[in-house]
Structure 1
């Protein structure tokens, strides 16, 4: 048996030249004449009844007849009569001639002309094949497996060579785990012993001797029985309870890397991980190594005498899947043979520096070692079982990929390969970009050459960097002043072209002539939720022409369920989503073939805590006057900014300055988000310390990334001031761990995206989110109304088991929100005030 995804996928029978005789005998059996009922009766007589009668006659033959009893003589006489009667009948019915005909083959074949392909002939009635339904068995020739044993041996040697480094890293991880357990037990009071046993432990003698923690109990060991008032039985129970607590704590303890407490054992773990990473040649080859492991039984079965393989699918997998795995493994062995130690990463004196520069890579290594565990079911999202199985069966070639994939990321990439055109809606910060790159790298190994990424201008640079860092693919920036030259080079040589929604308007006519566009990746795909928008129309045409398409978005649903349905229709127009029944469960089931989403809390077990703080602040006198004037003028946008624009006289600004000072004291960096440029400009002028920005939509994409890089390398207390619609999309800013949002946004997904710039894979500190909210006025009204929108997203776009609901009853457009807020505030400030004035008079 040869496996795939942990299950038997193919039965393989090795064939040698000497098996040709067996094949001849099978063919002879299959070409014997068909038996009639009379033939079967005759054969039964000759093979069953006749021999039994001969046995019964035997006692009457020879000397034995003188010693045979009367009963046996009578039985022998009857048997003899039976034989005489049937012998005469046999001769009368031309029995000899019938036997001769039954022994003659109906289709004699020269054994030298029989090939192993004959095993697949239904007429042969070969049991292993005859009952097989589609997919069909196949005979593979020797060249398919030539070099496989050597390839598997080469891979095994490389893995063995890395094993000592891997083992050292695993041992170091266990030391970190045990040290953390010991620290917890040092702080765990002895009262906890009572929770680990049903016995009533008398802890007074421990207190009397100054033993206050569980770890101190373990340190004392059996010497406890010497304490006054303890004894052997009590000591045994106390130690048993303490050991139970230690084991339970160990079982539940992940391997943590705490940047705020750099313990020696954690430093040693990082050093071991860095050494393992620098020496290993199998980086990015996890999927290929899995294939090698699955082929191990085949390696044991074949030898130099094997000339063919009979492959019989055990599941709904074609034989081509096995040949693909063999080719993947042989190619991986070739690549490992070409690699050398010259490509090793330099391990510096302080491993913390390398960890902080690329924490996601370290967490991926911990996941490979089993320390950062993932819930396999969570990686499947809300997919039906038949799609999950197909994804498990899909090979992922890592030849052109240089990054290590987490388990859920590998699943996402294979999902896109199986379903061909999909939406990957993973929550922000889970690595949708690397999942898409893994798909492109796989397709490149299959001979495909031209791939296209369409994204907002703000993330073009990030895509260029990610493609270069995570793969061997060539990235082409088809954007900006050099776009024409880059487009010509890409059309000629291939690679990954990265362009923007706006540039696509210029480039689309030329792309219509391209016939081998293998895959289109549409990043921040919620930009094309409006089917009437020109950028949507252009992108949709491109998706339709491409062989494959991946729409990436962490916010597939921002306002209405119809927008989500639109995105699904671009990749799978054949899906029928019933407009008459829009219950969340039904909607998710109908859209499942095209949509995969996983959430941070389900798959990133190592992600630091997200602390969200709503800071409700009073309006200062100056704030109140500005706000009241904005309401009088009916200026909604001015109402939203009023609590910040009085600068040092504004309560929100005063609190923001306090947050930044606290962050500097706690060695953190801060991102400040606002929708409004005037607010951002004022914040940039008012804050102490180094301030970067404002990062707004008018800042060129290249300069945005440069601004983020400068901020990330600045000292603690640095602040990046960013417009939430520009800095909250696409950029990775894990160097910041404090996020401030100056006013509530009109879409809850806008805030979620902004927070995810910092709280994402690779973040090593807890992330604090401060929402600055005014107690009176527009902030409170917006917050109340937007709670409805968040419920829609959770029910329809996020995996959820909530009860059915009708989205039409809670959908809320931005214009409706503005009208509701204005009406409520005018009534509160003016009509209520008028009523009070009348009452006083």
Structure 2
């Protein structure tokens, strides 16, 4: 850079010149020392960054999803702050340009050598230095003189200052700054974020407990048998205690019934031993009682033990919500723990996440303050957290199992966890577990509805695969129903409402999924689409697709591509049909199948076309026969058309025998031994003056629908309304909720106005299906005295409303099955309260006339449909259409009210109103 030229007068260099040279050496030497120091500092920082990056990189945990790396996660703790600070210092090291690097090379190489040589012409050393050394020193001095001038001119000191790393700028760097640009974490750790994704800093609190959660899940999976045994022991204690209670009240006279021998019990009574339990407790001491020797004592003890065993075997374990004993609470706690462990095996998604998160969970044993998540695939950090939260939530459901299942002490639960709350939320699951443990035995003969023996044997031979079910326990009759549908392929499941036909259908779909059938289809009324979607998601691992509403187009594509269970409505079938091309339907489930009982309707035709596409079909209806035997036969023809060709002249016995291969029905009293009492009360009320006036006007006009409403239109002046208000008040005082059903929107609006407490609804055909379920949920969460008012054809179908235990029917319906459906909304599996049904009936007029017709229709249903393939005698089938019924009743009432003897205008007044109005005034159909 600079040519060294001799000053030429070294020997004659005066003091001033030497002083100036010394200053030059000092300045340029200082620059050299500064360059050497900054390079050393930069080297130390590089070394620190490398060490910090290495430590952090070793802490990174790779988390897969479905076998493919999806995230790289870095847990950060307090000691990592210094490492992050080291990385941040690297960002504060100025970049070296090629020119700056040349300057530093010169300052740390050529310049120090020139300084050393220039010192030879200073001080005493110049006098003893040889000529060659002095000449080299003079050249170096000249070089340094020129370099100093150049350095001053170009601001070399400032350049060196700019290249010097900042030592203090990284103070305060911590985990919260991990993703700051100046830290450069991804760069230093060579972590590449997938396109479209971004790294995310997560608070350690969000993953706190993951290690424990994984351990809880692993332990629960290994201890399922122990939890089952613990639940069984808790049930045994209750059964034994209840058996003791019964025997304590059983007189010793019953001992004679337990043996063929004539036992003398007089010595027992004379000794004050009056009940069987005392005989058991005396044991060997019995033979020392006066009048009882060893032989009689042995016989008495044997008889007592026989009575104990018989009582014990027949003793169900009951759960009484109004008598919450410590033993029952412990049983519920143990059942809940066992159920939680069993549900784990069905929760495949959660278990997969737990396995994938094992490495991360191990790394989190020392709780980090933050985590840095680097998505390396198409999944985001939020997807990782969703998996973490699923594992934490799943472990929380198993948390009550944290105590060893063999312990005799009560199992610890999460804070404020009450097993009664969980029982009341899902009592059907608990009763199912009791049945599985043998504490609520089912009559096996009744579970198969008296089907022909060859069908029963074929059903028993099938093993039901429940891999994709998460429901926990299937009742014995439910398992049988699902297997019947699988064996017979195309059937009608006519179980009485409230027995869980939805779960049986899900068991069929889940079994077929395990056999490789990926596409299932459910067709149902719009009112229950939401409920079906929720049930599929809650009780199986099958993926539900809602093919109804604005999102149906994208949903049908997802279903076609990925499989699952599509849920659609009767009205949507026409739109759906083209989308079914190329789809192999494992099974088509038709819910509320009586909607297609008339094969001439467009709805029925669309359903039939879809059913023809599937090898398996399952029609669900609790009311296969409403009016005409031909309607029932039409349903049978959808599934097995060859069974019934002609219904004319068929007796009930012959009809049931013919449809047996395709029809299975069980009634509540047959299989739900724990179902609480159903109390039905006919509230026969006189008409008020206002009621009578409204009724006479309706009859005079031939307005059948107005006649049915007349006894309530007077509002507070109506006897029915007054009684309804009283029933609701009584329900509130007794801690109950109420369902009010009517066929008529006007009646429902009136009821909502007159009731003082919280009223939900009305649920009518105009309320969107999703909103209906929301209203039911809000009602279930409300307090005592809450009332849900619903149109009977909207709220009486498909919805589960076990929160209510009082049902009020404002008027009799034209079909008994409609009333049964409405009552079954509350009196169904899972109900824990006795259910009160109040029918508001006028003491005269249309209510009484309809009652007579209903009696005949009930007999028709009992004869042909209530049983499946059982022998019974019955009259011939008949039909009375609604229009005929209306005309018959209006004519009879006109005769009664306006005959010559009773007419207001005196003898001979003809009945006015030539026609009869039988239309659906003030009524809304359910879409």
Question: TM-score scaled to structure 2, two decimals?
Answer: 0.63
CA shift in 2, pair 1:505/1:214, >3 Å: same
Q: 1:750 aligns with which of 812, 818, 829?
A: 818
Q: 2:320 aligns with which of 235, 258, 265?
A: 258
Give the structure 2 partner of residue 345 of structure 1: 398
Give the structure 2 partner of residue 566 of structure 1: 634
Question: Runs of 5+ in structure 1 lacking a partner?
Answer: 1-156, 286-337
Give the Å deviation of 1:737. 1.2
Give the structure 1 partner of residue 594 of structure 2: 526
Give the Å deviation of 1:173. 0.5
1:529-551 deviation per Cα after TM superposition (whole angstroms, max 9, x unaligned): 11111111001001001222111
Q: 2:610 aligns with which of 530, 535, 542?
A: 542
Distance 2:339 2:572 in 1: 39
Give the Å deviation of 1:823. 1.7
Give the structure 1 partner of residue 862 of structure 2: 794
CA shift in 2, pair 1:239/1:806, >3 Å: closer
- Could you tell me whether the CA contact under 8 Å between 2:442 and 2:671 is conserved in 1? yes
Q: 1:667 aligns with which of 727, 732, 735?
A: 735
CA shift in 2, pair 1:343/1:397, >3 Å: farther
Distance 1:429 1:219 in 2: 44
Equivalences for 1:478-489 in 2 at 5 Å?
478-489=547-558
CA shift in 2, pair 1:638/1:192, >3 Å: farther
- Could you tell me whether the CA contact under 8 Å between 1:413 and 1:438 is conserved in 2? yes
Give the Å deviation of 1:175. 1.2
CA shift in 2, pair 1:475/1:191, >3 Å: same
- Could you tell me whether the CA contact under 8 Å between 1:561 and 1:807 is conserved in 2? no
Give the Å deviation of 1:803. 4.2
Give the secondary structure class of the aligned counterpart of 1:568.
Answer: helix
CA shift in 2, pair 1:245/1:725, >3 Å: same
Q: 2:674 aligns with which of 592, 606, 609?
A: 606
Q: 1:826 aligns with which of 871, 894, 897?
A: 894
Give the Å deviation of 1:382. 3.8
Distance 2:501 2:311 in 1: 34
1:496 aligned to 2:549? no
Give the structure 1 partner of residue 95 of structure 2: none
CA shift in 2, pair 1:575/1:180, >3 Å: same
CA shift in 2, pair 1:748/1:203, >3 Å: farther
Give the Å deviation of 1:435. 1.2
Distance 1:696 1:346 in 2: 42
- Could you tell me whether the CA contact under 8 Å between 1:452 and 1:520 is conserved in 2? yes
Paired residues in the alignment total 627
Distance 1:615 1:196 in 2: 46
1:270 aligned to 2:332? yes
Give the Å deviation of 1:516. 1.6
Distance 1:392 1:233 in 2: 47
Give the secondary structure class of the aligned counterpart of 1:834.
Answer: coil
- Could you tell me whether the CA contact under 8 Å between 2:519 and 2:563 is conserved in 1? yes
CA shift in 2, pair 1:662/1:204, >3 Å: farther
Equivalences for 1:82-481 in 2 at 5 Å?
161-186=223-248, 201=265, 245-280=307-342, 342=395, 344-347=397-400, 348=414, 349-403=417-471, 404-481=473-550
Q: 2:709 aligns with which of 641, 646, 649?
A: 641
Equivalences for 1:631-780 in 2 at 5 Å?
631-780=699-848
- Could you tell me whether the CA contact under 8 Å between 2:633 and 2:644 is conserved in 1? no
CA shift in 2, pair 1:255/1:832, >3 Å: farther
CA shift in 2, pair 1:718/1:196, >3 Å: farther
Give the Å deviation of 1:223. 7.9
Give the structure 2 partner of residue 68 of structure 1: none
Distance 2:711 2:264 in 1: 60
Give the Å deviation of 1:838. 5.6
Give the Å deviation of 1:712. 0.8
Give the structure 2 partner of residue 84 of structure 1: none
Give the Å deviation of 1:429. 1.0
- Could you tell me whether the CA contact under 8 Å between 1:205 and 1:229 is conserved in 2? no
Give the secondary structure class of the aligned counterpart of 1:658.
Answer: helix
1:128-163 deviation per Cα after TM superposition (whole angstroms, max 9, x unaligned): xxxxxxxxxxxxxxxxxxxxxxxxxxxxx9998422
CA shift in 2, pair 1:523/1:341, >3 Å: closer
Distance 1:406 1:621 in 2: 53
1:657-697 deviation per Cα after TM superposition (whole angstroms, max 9, x unaligned): 22212222222111111111111111112123221111111
1:187-232 deviation per Cα after TM superposition (whole angstroms, max 9, x unaligned): 55777678778657559967x97x8866567667788899999999
Moved more, 623-632 or 378-387: 378-387
1:508 aligned to 2:577? yes
Compute the RMSD of aligned alpha carbons. Answer: 3.2
Give the secondary structure class of the aligned counterpart of 1:825.
Answer: helix
Give the secondary structure class of the aligned counterpart of 1:702.
Answer: helix
- Could you tell me whether the CA contact under 8 Å between 1:526 and 1:556 is conserved in 2? yes
CA shift in 2, pair 1:393/1:639, >3 Å: same
Give the secondary structure class of the aligned counterpart of 1:504.
Answer: helix
CA shift in 2, pair 1:803/1:272, >3 Å: closer
CA shift in 2, pair 1:217/1:611, >3 Å: farther
Distance 1:677 1:340 in 2: 43
Give the secondary structure class of the aligned counterpart of 1:598.
Answer: coil
CA shift in 2, pair 1:450/1:790, >3 Å: same
Higher Cα Rg: structure 1 or 2?
Answer: 2
CA shift in 2, pair 1:382/1:514, >3 Å: farther
Give the Å deviation of 1:807. 3.5
Give the secondary structure class of the aligned counterpart of 2:398.
Answer: coil
- Could you tell me whether the CA contact under 8 Å between 2:629 and 2:647 is conserved in 1? no
1:685-710 deviation per Cα after TM superposition (whole angstroms, max 9, x unaligned): 21232211111111111111111111
CA shift in 2, pair 1:660/1:575, >3 Å: same
Give the structure 1 partner of residue 882 of structure 2: 814
1:552 aligned to 2:552? no
Distance 1:250 1:428 in 2: 31
CA shift in 2, pair 1:188/1:614, >3 Å: farther
- Could you tell me whether the CA contact under 8 Å between 2:625 and 2:865 is conserved in 1? yes
- Could you tell me whether the CA contact under 8 Å between 1:577 and 1:587 is conserved in 2? no
Give the secondary structure class of the aligned counterpart of 1:664.
Answer: helix
- Could you tell me whether the CA contact under 8 Å between 1:187 and 1:213 is conserved in 2? yes
Give the Å deviation of 1:552. 0.8
CA shift in 2, pair 1:233/1:579, >3 Å: closer
1:591 aligned to 2:659? yes
Give the Å deviation of 1:401. 1.6
- Could you tell me whether the CA contact under 8 Å between 2:268 and 2:274 is conserved in 1? no
Give the structure 2 partner of residue 74 of structure 1: none
CA shift in 2, pair 1:400/1:195, >3 Å: closer
1:12-34 deviation per Cα after TM superposition (whole angstroms, max 9, x unaligned): xxxxxxxxxxxxxxxxxxxxxxx
Distance 1:185 1:584 in 2: 45
Give the secondary structure class of the aligned counterpart of 2:777.
Answer: helix
Distance 1:191 1:434 in 2: 47
Moved more, 656-665 or 353-362: 656-665
- Could you tell me whether the CA contact under 8 Å between 2:251 and 2:275 is conserved in 1? yes
